[in-house]
Amino acid sequence: MRQRIVAGNWKMNTTLLEAKSLTAELMGMVGDEVRGDVKIIICPPYPYLHALQSQLGKSARIEIGAQNCNEHASGAYTGEVSAGMLKSMEVPYVIIGHSERRQYFFESGKQLAQKIDGALANGLKPIFCCGEPLEVREAGDHETLVKEQIEEGLFHLNAEAMKKIVIAYEPVWAIGTGKTATTAQAQEMHLVIRKHLVDKFGEETANMVPILYGGSVKPDNAKEIFSCADVDGGLVGGASLKSRDFVEIIKSA
Ligand code: PGA
């Protein structure tokens, strides 16, 4: 059985006070309502990582992740945060290559491969995002593009390193739009990704890598999407900012 995971990507939202109350609400609800071994991760903005990490405590049922890291180890990169810094804060997860980073901050495949290496070298577990924009889907080139993204970001790894990666397939046209992929579309793409991993890393490794779906996951569609054979959970944006919605999505996994 692959690890099932539900991760919340808070993006650039919440004040510190709001972040703390959301965390407190989640801790309460998860403690009372969530059974089973689904892994729960929240990814708040950088400045809140330390406070929320302390709030969650060592044995917390909820783990924490960053939304990005810089590809360099240290130095004159004003405003940036390195994987080593996240390691020093005992942050276990980091999202790498989110489509908003690719789109608004022009992150390239080569740069993302470097971020993956930096994260792994510091013992962080990367959640590597891929997914096609609407025009690529409409042109019928989504499989080709997503395979390329996976090759650029991950194919330089060996099988041992690949086993530490979580992949999130997030079609850009479904992010924040209220438009989700159908279960057929999600399963199709997750299988494309899985088969591509089999070709490169072999069955054993490919079958261990959790592939999360992301893009307008909500309490009313989560169960259906998570029922697909190759969907191992979700990366949730908007709905992860509402404790009740996020917990319902966790319970669906
Ligand atoms: P959404 O975002 O759930 O708001 O569509 C998903 C994501 O960007 O990770």
Per-residue confidence (pLDDT) for residue 17, from 0 to 100: 98
Give yes or no for residue 178 having a pLDDT over 90. Answer: no
**For the stretch 167-179, what's the b/e string if a residue is b when 16 or more beta carbons lie within 10 angstroms of its beta carbon?**
bbbbbbbbbeeee
- In this prediction, residue 180 has a pLDDT band, given cuts at 50, 70 and 90, of confident
Q: Whose CA is nearest to atom 1 of ligand 1?
A: 237
Check which CATH number belongs to the domain holding 115 and give it.
3.20.20.70
Q: 71, 98, 132, 196: which is the annotated catalytic residue?
A: 98
**Ligand 1 centroid distance, CA of 248 (Å):** 16
Contact by Cβ (8 Å): 126, 119: yes
Active-site annotation holds for 18 = no
Give the binding-site residues of ligand 1, using a 6 Å CB cut-off.
9, 170, 175-176, 214-217, 235-239
End-to-end Cα distance, the chain: 13
Q: What is the pLDDT of residues 138-158, one digit of tens each?
A: 999 999 999 999 999 999 999
Location of structure tokens 């689904």 = 38
From 10, 177, 217, mutation site for ligand 1 pocket: most ligand atoms within 8 A of C-beta: 217
**Ligand 1 centroid distance, CA of 237 (Å):** 3
Q: Whose CA is nearest to atom 2 of ligand 1?
A: 237
The closest alpha carbon to 133, from 151, 146, 123, belongs to: 146
Determine the Cα angle at 225 with ends 223 and 229, to 5°: 105
Report the alpha-carbon distance of residue 232 to residue 237 in Å, rounded: 17
DSSP state of 173: G
Active-site annotation holds for 63 = no
Averaged pLDDT of the chain:
96
Q: For residue 217, which atom of ligand 1 is closest to its CA?
A: 3
Phi/psi region, residue 216 (left: phi>0; alpha: psi -120 to 50; beta: rest), is: left
- Residues spanned by the domain of 155: 5-252
Report the alpha-carbon distance of residue 41 to residue 155 in Å, rounded: 25
Q: 63, 71, 107, 170: which is the annotated catalytic residue?
A: 170
Contact by Cβ (8 Å): 26, 243: yes
Per-residue confidence (pLDDT) for residue 7, from 0 to 100: 98
Q: How many domains does the chain have?
A: 1
Contact by Cβ (8 Å): 169, 137: no
Q: For residue 99, which atom of ligand 1 is closest to its CA?
A: 8
Give yes or no for residue 5 having a pLDDT over 80. Answer: yes
Q: What is the pLDDT of residues 34-66, one digit of tens each?
A: 998 999 999 999 999 999 999 999 777 999 999
SS3 110: helix
